């Protein structure tokens, strides 16, 4: 996520929100979010995704 922040793909607030997410599924969640950002979804759209 720090790379996304450094590339200005996400804001400081969004980075902090991502850091607060409990890593229930570990690195797979991180990879999924990074992929969604790379494909053009906005950080605000990703935050609204509900994982079940």
* 10 in Cβ contact with 1 (< 8 Å): yes
Is 33:5 a contact under the CB 8 Å cutoff?
no
What is the residue extent of each domain of the chain? 2-47
Chain centroid to Cα 8, Å, comes to 13
Please tell me which residue, 29 or 13, carries the higher pLDDT value: 13
How far apart (Å, rounded) are the C-alpha atoms in residues 5 and 24?
Answer: 22
Mean pLDDT, residues 6-25 taken together: 75
Separation CA 50–CA 6 (nearest Å): 26
Task: With cut-offs at 50, 70 and 90, classify the pLDDT of residue 21.
Answer: low
Residue 26 has a pLDDT of 65
Asked if 29 contacts 23 with a C-beta cutoff of 8 angstroms, the reply is yes
């Amino acid at each position: 996520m720090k790379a996304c922040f450094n590339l200005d793909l996400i804001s400081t607030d969004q980075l902090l929100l991502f850091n607060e997410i409990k890593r229930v599924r570990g690195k797979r969640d991180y990879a999924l979010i990074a992929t969604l950002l790379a494909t053009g979804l906005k950080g605000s759209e990703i935050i609204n995704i509900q994982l079940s």
